[in-house]
Amino acid sequence: MIVGSAEPEALRPGAPVMHDFGSEPLSLAGASVLQLLCEVSGGTQALLPPALHPTLPGVVAWQVYDFPTSPWGPFRMAQTRIQCRSGTRPRGLLVSGVVTSAAAGEALTARWGFRLAPGEIDFLRGYDRVHASVRSPEGDALLAVGLQDPVMLPPGAVQFVSGVHPADTPSGFRLVQVDALHEVHRAERGDPVIDYFDAGAWGEDRMVPTYPISASICTADVTLRRLRFVCRPGEMSFTGTETVAAG
């Protein structure tokens, strides 16, 4: 059995700080979600802590959200994640994200352990293509991805897996399981386009995208559920999982 080999403490510098696990669910209606998956060179074992298992092959996922409404007004968020398994369950380890609203970013960080930096995100939706570009506040390009020639799919065809967010929590440094339910109303798949990715700027320069798999664009209502589980990053989920709230 293959398990992650990264030192858990290597994930800790800059990890978000959560003072409690008591967040109420958050629903964000009418979001546009661009998701791309791409194989990476050399696998992901060295990028994951022992609590997680790599997929075969290793895959990086980018998710770019355009939220038209929220308690903090419209905002956009982009994430870079590593597809993995916690025990037998599919998960995405959050490497880091970029958010366009400071208030939204603070809330998501404090309540769900999102590791987010401020930035700018352009989200363009055309007839035959969708494109998103992410930049730092200084204007440095971080990510430019999209899809071309979308075709309609049944809403259930696109899969969204729960995230695991390394964070300093009241229980200590943990992987926080973040269940984001996506009620998809419209789903399309297109040819993936990866124009630019600065892996180091996202916090993990060993991610080398090699083989684009898929790109999808969905319209969905997204609900971040109340936190239920965290996991000690240094041991497998069977023994390392801790309950933090009633499911």
Query: What residue has token string 């979001």?
Result: 31
Can you tell me the distance from the alpha carbon of 10 to that of 173, in angstroms, rounded to the nearest whole number?
11
User: How far apart are CB 65 and other proteins at their closest, in Å?
Assistant: 17
Contact with other proteins (CB under 8 A) among 13, 24, 56, 247: 56
> Which helix or strand (DSSP H or E) is residue 238 part of?
helix 237-240
Burial of 167 (0-12, 13-18, 19+ CB in 10 A): buried
Task: Determine the Cα–Cα distance for residues 247 and 136; give it in Å rounded to an integer.
Answer: 37
36 touches other proteins (CB under 8 A): no
* Residue 154 found at the interface with other proteins (CB under 8 A): yes
- Which CB, 70 or 83, lies closer to other proteins? 83
What residues from 72 to 101 belong to the interface with other proteins (CB under 8 A)?
Answer: 83, 85, 87-90
For residue 52, what are the CA distances in angstroms to 12, 210, 224, 231? 16, 22, 22, 10
Does position 139 bind other proteins by CB under 8 A? no
Nearer to other proteins, 132 or 236 (CB): 236
Find the binder of other proteins among 50, 57, 203, 234 (CB under 8 A): 57
- Which listed residue (44, 177, 216, 219) binds other proteins by CB under 8 A? 216
Best CA proximity match to 50, nearest among 234, 175, 173: 234
Q: Name the β-bridge partners of 129.
A: 148
Q: Binding residues for other proteins, per CB under 8 A?
A: 1-2, 37, 39, 53-57, 59, 83, 85, 87-90, 153-154, 156-159, 161, 187, 189, 211, 213-214, 216
